[in-house]
Amino acid sequence: MAHRDRWASRATFLLASFGSAIGLGNLWRFPMIAYDNGGGAFLIPYIAALLTAGIPLMMLEFALGQQFQKSTPGSFREVGRKWEFVGWWALGVGTIIVLYYAVIMAWAWDYLAFSLREGWKGDPQGFFDRFLGLTEGPGRMGGIRWAAVAGLALTWGSMYWIIKRGVFRVGKVVLFTVPIPIILTLVLAIRGITLPGAVEGLKYYLTPDFSALLRGQTWLAAYGQVFFSLSLGFGILTAYASYQPRNSDITNNAFLTSLADTGYAYLAGFAVFATLGYLATAQGVPVSEVARGGPSLAFVIYPTAISLMPFAPVIGVLFFLTLLTLGIDSAFSIVEAAVAGMRDKWKVSQERTTAWFCLFGFLGGLVFTTGAGLYWLDIVDQWMNNYGLVVIGLLECVMVGWFYGTRKLREYINEVSDFRVGWWWDFFIRWLTPAALGVALVTTLAQEFRAPYGDYPTWALMVGGWSILAIIIVAAAVVTSLPARAGRKEA
Ligand code: TRP
C-alpha cells in the first residue's frame, strides 16, 4: 500500500483542526447571533448544541477518517458504496463556500493596504460601496473590480503554495496562522475594553435574557452556528483525521477542538462589542444602531471605529491581519480535503490537482468580484449553510446510526481514546442529533416559503441558491459513478 501522508505530531493535527474551525464565522457571526438570541444567556443553548450535536458529530467525522485512513468520499464508501455520494456532496458544498470565502479574504488584503493611509476616512460606507462598485441588484453585474481580483490572486496563490506539498507545509503554516489571530484578537479586545463607552457594548453583548431560551429560534441558531463554526459537514475533519495514525485519541481531540473554537468565539465577542460600544458612545447613538454582523461589520463598522482611535493605521493593520490569518487556515482546509478526495480516488498528483483546483477557485470567485458580488455572496452563503450543511450532517447521522452501526464505531473510538464514551453517544447519533437537525431544516424551509430570503428577485434565488445546490448534487453523483483508478505499485 502507498504510504499515506502523516501529520508531524498530534499537536500539528490539533492546530490544523483548530485552524479550520476558528475562522471568520467566529468573529462576525458568533457575537451577533449571541446578541440576537439572549446575549449572555445564549451560552446555554450554544453549549447544549455543542454537547448534543457538535462534539458527537466531530467524533464521528474524526473516527471515520482515522479508522479507514481515507478522505471523506473514500471513508464513506467503506460504509456502503452509495454513501460515497454524500462525501462528494459535502466537498462540493465546501468548495462553493470557499469560492466566496476567498473573496472576503481578497477584500481584507485590499483593506490591509488601505489601512496604511486610512483610505476609508470620513465615509466608510460610501468607501466600501465604491470599492465594491456595488450595483443596484443581483441582475446588474457592473464590471469586475480589479483590486478585488488582485487580492483574490494573492489568496489563491498563497493557498496553492501552502497545500501543494500536502500536509507537511500545512503543519508548518498553522504554527503561525492559529496563534497569530488569537493573540491579535486579545490585543484588539484589550484595546477595545480600555476605550470609553466599551462597557455599554459589553452590557449589550452579555446581559442575559433568559426568556430567549423559551424561543425555538434561539435553539436553531445555536445548532446552525455550532455546525458552521466547527467546520462540520464539509468533509474537512474526516480528511484531516485520515492523516493521523489509526491509534490516535479521538474523544480528547474532539473536545479540545470544540472548546478552543468556542473559547475563541467568546473572546472575539469582547473585541467586537467593546469597539461597538465605543463607536456608539462617540457617535451618540444606541449600540443597537451600530451592531451588525457579516461583511459590513468588518469593512464598514469596524473601520469607522478604527478611524476614531489613536494610532488608527496600526489598529487597522492588526485588524485586517487578524481577518486574513483567521480565514486562510479555514479556507485551505476545504481545498486540502477536496484534493485528498480526488487523490484517493484517482491517484492524481497532489501538486497538479492543487494547481487546477486553485485555478478553478480563482476563476469561480471572479463572480463575487463584480459589482453585484456582494448580493451573490449573500445568496450563495444562505443556501450553502442552511441546506448544504444541515442535510449532510443529517445524512452522516443516518449513515453511521442506521447503516454502519454506532456501537461498532464507538468501540473503535473507545479503544483508542483515553476518555471512554457511553451509550449516550449512540443515542445522540441515532436520534437526538438527526432530530435536532431535521427540525432545523424543516423550520428554515417553511420560513423560506413564507418569506423568500432577503429582498432578492426570485430568479436570483433560483440561480444562486437552488440551482447551485442541484449542480453540486448532480456533480457528486457523476463523480461517484466514475471508476476509481487502482493504486500504483510505488508509494
Ligand atoms: N469554520 C469556519 C469559520 O468559522 C468556516 C467554515 C466552515 C469554512 N466550513 C468551511 C470556510 C469551508 C471555508 C470552507 O469561519
DSSP string, 99-144: HHHHHHHHHHHHHHHHHHHTTTTT-HHHHHHHHHT--SSTT----B
Q: What's the whole-number mean pLDDT along residues 270-283? A: 94
Predicted confidence at residue 488, as pLDDT, reads 54
Q: What's the whole-number mean pLDDT along residues 270-290? A: 93
What is the distance in A from the centroid of ligand 1 to the CA of 24? 7
**In this structure, how many other beta carbons lie within 10 angstroms of the beta carbon of residue 117?**
10
Phi-psi region of 133 (alpha: psi -120 to 50; beta: other; left: phi over 0): left
Predicted confidence at residue 179, as pLDDT, reads 97
What's the rounded Cα separation, in Å, for the pair 313 and 34? 30
What is the distance in A from the centroid of ligand 1 to the CA of 247? 27
Q: Tell me: the pLDDT tens digits for 229-242?
A: 999 999 999 999 99
Residue 347 clears pLDDT 60, i.e. is over it: yes
What's the rounded Cα separation, in Å, for the pair 247 and 412? 9
Question: For residues 456-465, b (16+ Cβ closer than 10 Å) or e, as one string?
Answer: beeebbeebb
Give yes or no for residue 229 CB within 6 A of ligand 1: yes
Predicted confidence at residue 410, as pLDDT, reads 97
What's the rounded Cα separation, in Å, for the pair 377 and 354? 24
Residue 61: name the closest of 423, 389, 335, 438 by CA.
389
What the chain holds in terms of domains, given with CATH numbers, is 10-481 (1.20.1740.10)
Q: Tell me: the pLDDT tens digits for 190-232?
A: 999 999 999 999 998 999 999 999 987 888 888 888 988 999 9
What's the rounded Cα separation, in Å, for the pair 23 and 46? 17
Predicted confidence at residue 443, as pLDDT, reads 84
Instruction: Give percent of the chain above pLDDT 70.
Output: 99
Residue nearest to atom 2 of ligand 1 (CA): 23
64-68, 184-188, 380-384: least confidently modelled range:
380-384
Model's pTM, two decimal places?
0.94
Give yes or no for residue 26 CB within 6 A of ligand 1: yes
Q: What's the whole-number mean pLDDT along residues 374-396? A: 88
Eight-class DSSP state of 41: G
Q: Which long-range contacts (CB under 8 A, 24 or more apart) does 361-367 make?
A: 361/95, 361/98, 361/99, 361/102, 361/156, 361/159, 361/335, 362/102, 362/152, 362/153, 362/156, 364/99, 365/99, 365/100, 365/102, 365/103, 365/106, 365/152, 365/156, 366/144, 366/149, 366/152, 367/99
Residue type at position 84:
E
The three three-digit cell numbers of residue 453, written as one number: 430570503
Predicted confidence at residue 445, as pLDDT, reads 83
Distances in Å between the Cα of 476 and the Cα atoms of 95, 99, 471 are 12, 18, 8
Give yes or no for residue 235 CB within 6 A of ligand 1: no
Confidence of residue 162 (pLDDT cuts 50, 70, 90): very high
What is the distance in A from the centroid of ligand 1 to the CA of 101? 8
Ligand 1 pocket test, pick from 17, 18, 20 with the greatest ligand atom count within 8 Å of Cβ, gives: 20
Predicted confidence at residue 487, as pLDDT, reads 60
Residue type at position 53:
A
Q: What's the whole-number mean pLDDT along residues 59-71? A: 97
Residue 491 clears pLDDT 50, i.e. is over it: no
Residue nearest to atom 6 of ligand 1 (CA): 231
